[in-house]
Amino acid sequence: MIMLFGTFDILHPGHINLFEQAKKHADILTVVVAQDVNVKKNKKHQTIFNQRERIKMLKNIILIDKVILGNKKDYYQVILKNKPDIIALGYDQKDCGPGLEEFLKKNNLKAKIIRLKAYQPQRLKSHKVRNYIESMI
């Protein structure tokens, strides 16, 4: 099982590519959705779609086998509970790396960490899509 973390607020082709890349590494793709409060704290803005809406959208993507809401206080608890074989990080997820490796070692988890590739980041980076949509409103 491969586990992928993210906000997935405004789904776009870059996200679909991310799911396709992750799915190539394992039969089961589990997506962990960031809670609204954590998005606001980490990204300094509200989501357009709340966590329930984002989960509902993701559950309708055929590439995804399971969707889980992330933990509000300890991001890594979902890893401890689900014990993935592989953890996929997006090309721009910088805050997960070193702390994640330390957590896996400390908890004797053997998950492999992989980094997924960018897909048209000059056009399909979430904040760029968000800014474009907001400029149209």
- pLDDT digits 0-9 by tens, 66-91: 999 999 888 899 999 999 999 999 88
Tally of CA atoms within 13 A in the half-sphere of 72 that contains its CB: 3
Catalytic residue among 24, 40, 41, 117: 41
Q: Is 23 known to be catalytic? A: no
Higher pLDDT: 95 or 110? It is 110
The pLDDT score that the predictor gives to residue 99 is 86
CATH assignment at residue 37: 3.40.50.620
Domain that holds residue 53: 2-136
Name the domain count of the chain. 1
Q: Look up 83 and say whether it is catalytic.
A: no
What pTM was computed for the model? 0.86
Q: In this structure, are residues 112 and 87 in contact, taking their beta carbons and an 8 Å threshold?
A: yes
Residue percentage of the chain with pLDDT more than 70: 84
89-100 pLDDT tens trace: 988 777 665 689
Instruction: Output the six-digit token pair for 8.
Output: 């997935």
Res. 59 pLDDT band, cuts 50 70 90: very high
CB 13 within 8 A of CB 97: no
Q: Residues 43, 66, 125, 128: which is the catalytic one?
A: 43
> How many Å separate Cα 17 from the centre of its chain?
13
